[in-house]
Structure 1
Amino acid sequence: MKAKTVKGNWRMKKLGLPSVFLLCIFFFLSGFFASNFFSQFQEPEYDRRLTPRPRARLLEKSTEYDHLSKTGDSGDNYVTLIPFQVLSWYPRALYFPNFASADQCESIIEMARGRLMPSTLALRKGETKETTEGIRTSYGVFISASEDETGVLDTIEEKIAKATKIPRNHGEAFNILRYQVGQKYDSHYDAFDYTEYVPQKSQRVASFLLYLTDVPEGGETVFPFENGFNMDGSFDFKDCIGLKVRPRMGDGLLFYSLLPNGTIDPTSLHGSCSVVQGEKWVATKWIRDQEQND
């Protein structure tokens, strides 16, 4: 035992403490980098999905896809990236930040400002203008892209078609709306229940709202039945409760009124909360299941 101890001490003296320290550092770093290298190939699927990915600028033509196939006459020969966030699956609602520029929003407001009229309602069977007074108190005007000499609405309409994957000729004219303090729109459906309304030539599939101004307080778009809440029959359509989307200049909101089977999504009920401070401007594009002639 004594001889072994002496031999071990002799080796330690010959190697030296600094050399032992450097070897420890070498093996530690080697193990660290090796574990990182192999972990790239073993990353769980859910981690890859949750990792944020950098977004390209809106409507920026990418040069990274030179191998793309030749497109048809109506297709694009470049990749268009439009960032969005899924807000809800019930209803299917998606949020598009910075969908339009401030200049585009201001241009739309100016072309509509002098043409506003009190907003109207599509009346159900048995309803009258008098019995529905106070449900919708905004002012608005319908303007088609073909009327706009500046080309702003044409650009926005094309981008909405790319975002929704529904041809632009399925959209109604833009309904440019202004809500002042105290004005609102009680919760309602954009799609038409044919048992309650007069026959329609087509059905509204989806709605795209482009917010043209910031609203300091109030004016949110609200979905009171989101995820099946408040559907016990006691909900007051005047109430501003549920999933709320605050208006912000240039941002867009897309939601679908129909389920994939073509029936009305009961959770797509929505409204516009009363404006408390400021002024709300919004450009609404209703999209139908058939071509429109505006």
Structure 2
Amino acid sequence: MKGKGGWSPKLELPLLFLSWSLFFLAGLFGSMLFSQDVNGVRSPPRLLESVEEEYSSMPHGETGESSVDLIPFQVLSWKPRARYFPHFATAEQCQSIIEMAKSGLSPSTLVLRKGETEESTKGIRTSSGTFISASEDKTGILDFIERKIAKATMIPRNHGEVFNILRYEIGQRYNSHYDAISPAEYGLQTSQRIASFLLYLSDVEEGGETMFPFEHDLNINTFNSRKCIGLKVKPRRGDGLLFYSVFPNGTIDWTSMHGSCPVIEGEKWVATKWIRDEQQED
């Protein structure tokens, strides 16, 4: 059907499409012409180096880092708050830490509650271990690991205690306990342990899991500290485990109770970094 003056609406869309096509082609041809430099040669595409230069010049503060490492992690639990870091360290780094710790091993000790003695707490923690600070390690590996832990936790490295390198042999364990120190049980403290980072230095063929018996279920009345129950993390060489012992308001998270299941087959090596709410002395 024709409209007034003999105009046909069927012809409008093809003509409109044709006009827009010609306009687009003209613009594209024009942009190609303007992309030529004075010698008639097309300018090369922008290189990624320019992006890297732009990134490296970004402000990062006087005490910050000039670049950001990608540190992948998995949230294991919200109760307690726990994160798992796969491939946090290399196999070579882990073996080097084991070698530097072997000569200094002695039976592990406990922070004693009021009224406790070494005799009354015998059997709670049966591993052997030693303490090594990053400044003692001439290879620089512990310094690297310590800096990486600070990045992963967003807590300055000078809030961490020295590394406690531990070895668990067959049958050895650590009954469930808290890393946070309750003033009511241990007396007043100058600072509080707020988080713990475990770097697994070896695989374990069977047993040796880090356990959180109170995950989602804080039932103290039926609890047995020797049972290997709840959330269990199997040690895997080079992987890291971070968990928080207190809430952001500073109160103890009672679901952060944890322990080490007995090693059934193999040997377990782990480097523990306890992190406090205040700067530690060198």
Of the candidates 252, 269, 272, which is equivalent to residue 260 of structure 2?
272
SS at match of 1:238: coil
1:82-138 deviations in whole A, cap 9, x for unaligned?
000000000000000000000000000000001100000000001111110000000
1:240-292 deviations in whole A, cap 9, x for unaligned?
00000000000000000001110000100000000000000000000000011
Whole-Å Cα distance in 1 between the matches of residues 155 and 183 of structure 2? 23
Alpha-carbon offset, residue 145 of structure 1: 0.2
Whole-Å Cα distance in 2 between the matches of residues 266 and 122 of structure 1? 18
Alpha-carbon offset, residue 228 of structure 1: 2.2
Whole-Å Cα distance in 2 between the matches of residues 245 and 112 of structure 1? 23
- 1:66 maps to a residue whose letter is Y
Whether 1:135 aligns to 2:124 is yes
**Structure 2 residue ranges without an equivalent (≥5):** 1-50
Aligned residues: 232
Tell me which residue corresponds to 1:221.
210
1:145-180 deviations in whole A, cap 9, x for unaligned?
000001000000000000000000000000000000
Tell me which residue corresponds to 1:23.
none
Whole-Å Cα distance in 2 between the matches of residues 167 and 277 of structure 1? 37
Contact 2:161 2:274 in 1 (8 A): yes
SS at match of 1:205: strand
Tell me which residue corresponds to 2:133.
144
Whole-Å Cα distance in 2 between the matches of residues 285 and 65 of structure 1? 36
Structure 1 residues 278 and 86: alpha-carbon distance in aligned structure 2, compared to 1, 3 A threshold: same
Contact 1:101 1:250 in 2 (8 A): yes
SS at match of 1:169: helix
Whether 1:292 aligns to 2:280 is yes
SS at match of 1:196: helix
Contact 1:65 1:79 in 2 (8 A): no
**Structure 1 residue ranges without an equivalent (≥5):** 1-61
SS at match of 1:187: strand
Whether 1:183 aligns to 2:183 is no
Higher mean alpha-carbon deviation, 74-83 vs 235-244, is at 74-83
Identity across matched positions, percent: 68
Contact 1:102 1:249 in 2 (8 A): yes
Contact 2:244 2:256 in 1 (8 A): yes
| Residues 1-294 of structure 1 mapped to structure 2, 5 A cutoff | 63=52, 66=55, 69-229=58-218, 231-294=219-282
Whole-Å Cα distance in 2 between the matches of residues 79 and 214 of structure 1? 29
Whole-Å Cα distance in 2 between the matches of residues 102 and 109 of structure 1? 11
Alpha-carbon offset, residue 72 of structure 1: 1.5
C-alpha RMSD of matched pairs (Å): 1.4
Whole-Å Cα distance in 1 between the matches of residues 273 and 164 of structure 2? 7
Structure 1 residues 78 and 120: alpha-carbon distance in aligned structure 2, compared to 1, 3 A threshold: same
SS at match of 1:201: coil
Higher mean alpha-carbon deviation, 104-113 vs 193-202, is at 193-202
Alpha-carbon offset, residue 65 of structure 1: 6.7
Whole-Å Cα distance in 2 between the matches of residues 63 and 261 of structure 1? 40
Contact 2:56 2:67 in 1 (8 A): no
Alpha-carbon offset, residue 70 of structure 1: 1.4
Whole-Å Cα distance in 2 between the matches of residues 159 and 240 of structure 1? 30
- The normalised TM-score by structure 2 is 0.80
1:185-224 deviations in whole A, cap 9, x for unaligned?
0000000000000321110000000000000100000000
Whole-Å Cα distance in 2 between the matches of residues 293 and 134 of structure 1? 31
Contact 1:187 1:272 in 2 (8 A): yes
Alpha-carbon offset, residue 69 of structure 1: 2.7
- 2:269 maps to a residue whose letter is W
- The normalised TM-score by structure 1 is 0.77
- 1:88 maps to a residue whose letter is S
Contact 1:218 1:277 in 2 (8 A): yes
Tell me which residue corresponds to 2:35.
none
